[in-house]
A and B are shown apart, each in its own frame.
Chain A
Amino acid sequence: MDGSHANAAAAAAGGGEGTQRTLNPYVTGNSVIAMKYKDGVIMACDTGASYGSTLRYKSVERIKAVGKHSLIGASGEFSDFQEILRYLDELTLSDHMWDDGNSLGPKEIHAYLTRVMYNRRNKFDPLWNSLVLGGVKKGPKGDEKYLGMVNMIGTHFEENHIATGFGNHMAVPILRGEWREDLTFEEAVKLIEKCLLVLLYRDRSSINKFQIAKITTEGSTIYPPYALKTNWGFAAFENPSQGAVGTW
């Protein structure tokens, strides 16, 4: 079959020792922020992918639905994220083909991804990503919300709110202060937008084009991209050297 020819030759094209080593990332996505809220999980990121310091691609989707119950968001090397999506396609397809009335929930997908990431790390051939996995599935105690993350070295955990990359430094403190268990959708969006704005101001590689996605028991929704208004109307911004000539 053509595909297997391609795969065999593709690996052979690597000179027989198809072994890779830890590499540098080329096309990279920025932070992903996510949190649980009353009805499920909400996730957001910008739609940019950088190539070194160039903001090269500006309409990239870094949050995708996985199966019926989960959302995955990724930062880091975009080609590795595309490959992970292919693995997840295979996983969800064979899950569907079992036709046993059960489907993989977010906890299971997270566990699968953790194994993939950690095993690649052990071979010194990581998938250069930080992945955020969120979802809702009916469990024995009713609808169970799930949010977890796993990164390129295999570190993984569950939390009520998650941020990757720069978001760890800028968004997590805000979330730790203001997150509550019973946030409505509107409140959650406002809180996420607060974090996105801070990242826009302070993360050099972010762009002003965002996507927010949510997942509830009804399913997942990925909203169309939009931009946020920024505020530059401070007197000190207009005249920074007034009263301190030579300052920056």
Chain B
Amino acid sequence: MDASSLTGSSSSSDAPTSGEHRMGTTIVGVCYDGGVVLAADSRTSTGMYVANRASDKISQLTDNVYVCRSGSAADTQVISDYVRYFLHQHTIQSGQPATVKVASNLVRLLAYQNKSMLQAGMIVGGWDKYEGGQIYSVPLGGTILRQPFAIGGSGSSYLYGLMDHEWRDGMTQEEAEKFVVKVVSLAIARDGASGGVVRTVTINADGVKRSFYPGNKLPLWHEELEPQNSLLDILAAGSPDAMVQ
């Protein structure tokens, strides 16, 4: 997430392994024909050290609304905890599931009113019976914007061109799931602050489905090689194209 260049505050401190937990992150949310798919990488770093290589950046707010978190890990955890608490009460009082709009506006409220103290960029996605699948972007500052797809986090810088080129409206569920995995793994390939596994959450009228794509199952991109157990295996299989002087 590019916050550091904007706010002037540094995200890494003097010692490369201390400092606030930040989620460098790539987060993505797309609407498809019938629902939404949220996706994220799984790297949480403190400075240059990867504090958690398998974090879950997609948090549940209600049965039908989830949020992708980027920025300060602590800030986004606290925001989602508060919003989950409010939505729980709201659901009891209204007697029906909260709408995606209400959930994202609560996220906005906290983000906006505490803007000087928070570093949180979030994508809220879900499904409700009134408007179907919806994605709302809540970037730094507390703006709220509904979009057919949204990207966020530091890795998203590498995705603007790709999305401009390849995004289509009205994908099927399968197309959308494959698309977000491809997109997040491309960002992971180039963004040092993103990595690990790709997690996805698909939300539609039938409910919620969580998926997990481990790092070794992601597609390989330019200059990436097929992983091996050992050099010895390569040698045993016949001499490779050795680089001979």
Binds B, one of A3-11, A101-109, A136-144, A208-216: A3-11
Given A2-B89, A6-B106, A54-B160, is A79 in contact with B113 using a C-beta cutoff of 8 Å? no
Complex Cα distance, B30 from A220, in Å, reads 34
Whether A51 contacts B115 by the Cβ 8 Å rule is no
Contact of A226 with B by CB under 8 A: no
Whether B145 contacts A60 by the Cβ 8 Å rule is yes
Given A20-B115, A20-B116, is A25 in contact with B141 using a C-beta cutoff of 8 Å? yes
Interface residue tally on B, bucketed by range = 20 to 34
Q: CB within 8 A of A54: which of B114, B117, B157?
A: B157
Complex Cα distance, B2 from A51, in Å, reads 9
Give the chain B neighbours of A15 by CB distance below 8 A: 117
**Can you list, as one digit per residue, whether each of B104-124 has a CB less than 8 Å from chain A (1) or not (0)?**
001011101111110000000
Whether B113 contacts A27 by the Cβ 8 Å rule is no
Given A79-B115, A79-B142, is A6 in contact with B109 using a C-beta cutoff of 8 Å? yes
Complex Cα distance, B144 from A11, in Å, reads 19
A26-B141, A49-B143, A77-B141 known, 7 other contacts, Cβ within 8 Å: A9-B82, A13-B110, A14-B117, A25-B141, A54-B2, A79-B142, A82-B112
Given A27-B141, A27-B143, A78-B143, is A52 in contact with B113 using a C-beta cutoff of 8 Å? no
Contact of B93 with A by CB under 8 A: yes
Contact of A23 with B by CB under 8 A: yes
Q: CB within 8 A of A57: which of B112, B114, B115, B145?
A: B145
Contact of A182 with B by CB under 8 A: no
Contact of A18 with B by CB under 8 A: yes
Whether A79 contacts B117 by the Cβ 8 Å rule is no
Give the chain B neighbours of A218 by CB distance below 8 A: none
Q: Smallest distance from the beta carbon of A79 to chain B beta carbons, Å?
A: 4
- In this complex, the member of A2, A9, A18 whose beta carbon has the largest number of chain B beta carbons within 10 angstroms is A2
**Can you list, as one digit per residue, whether each of A1-41 has a CB less than 8 Å from chain B (1) or not (0)?**
01001110111011100101101111100000000000000
Q: Smallest distance from the beta carbon of B79 to chain A beta carbons, Å?
A: 8
Given A51-B139, A52-B6, is A83 in contact with B109 using a C-beta cutoff of 8 Å? no
What are 30 A-to-B residue pairs whose CB atoms are below 8 Å? A5-B89, A6-B86, A7-B109, A9-B86, A10-B109, A10-B113, A10-B114, A11-B113, A13-B113, A14-B117, A18-B114, A23-B115, A24-B6, A24-B7, A25-B141, A26-B143, A27-B140, A49-B143, A51-B2, A52-B2, A52-B5, A52-B6, A54-B2, A54-B160, A57-B145, A77-B141, A79-B112, A79-B115, A79-B144, A82-B112
**Can you list, as one digit per residue, whether each of B76-97 has a CB less than 8 Å from chain A (1) or not (0)?**
0010001000100110010000
Complex Cα distance, B145 from A225, in Å, reads 17
Q: Smallest distance from the beta carbon of B72 to chain A beta carbons, Å?
A: 14
Whether B112 contacts A83 by the Cβ 8 Å rule is yes
Given A6-B106, A24-B6, is A14 in contact with B113 using a C-beta cutoff of 8 Å? yes
Complex Cα distance, B79 from A14, in Å, reads 11
Give the chain A neighbours of B137 by CB distance below 8 A: 57
Q: CB within 8 A of B8: which of A6, A13, A18, A24?
A: A24
Complex Cα distance, B143 from A82, in Å, reads 7
Give the chain A neighbours of B8 by CB distance below 8 A: 24
Complex Cα distance, B112 from A11, in Å, reads 10
Complex Cα distance, B78 from A51, in Å, reads 24
Query: In chain B between 157 and 192, which residues have their CB closer than 8 angstroms to a CB of chain A?
Result: 157, 160
A-B pairs with the 9 shortest C-beta distances? A26-B141, A79-B143, A79-B142, A26-B140, A79-B141, A20-B116, A10-B113, A78-B143, A27-B143
Nearest residue (CB) in A for B116 is A20
Complex Cα distance, B106 from A14, in Å, reads 15
Complex Cα distance, B89 from A9, in Å, reads 14
Give the chain A neighbours of B7 by CB distance below 8 A: 24
Whether A26 contacts B113 by the Cβ 8 Å rule is no
Give the chain A neighbours of B141 by CB distance below 8 A: 25-27, 77-79
Whether B139 contacts A27 by the Cβ 8 Å rule is yes
Give the chain B neighbours of A26 by CB distance below 8 A: 6, 139-141, 143
Whether A2 contacts B93 by the Cβ 8 Å rule is yes
Nearest residue (CB) in B for A15 is B117
Complex Cα distance, B145 from A5, in Å, reads 24
Q: Smallest distance from the beta carbon of B149 to chain A beta carbons, Å?
A: 12
Q: CB within 8 A of A5: which of B86, B140, B144, B147?
A: B86
Give the chain B neighbours of A18 by CB distance below 8 A: 113-114
Give the chain B neighbours of A57 by CB distance below 8 A: 137, 145, 147
Query: In chain A between 69 and 88, which residues have their CB closer than 8 angstroms to a CB of chain B?
Result: 77-79, 82-83
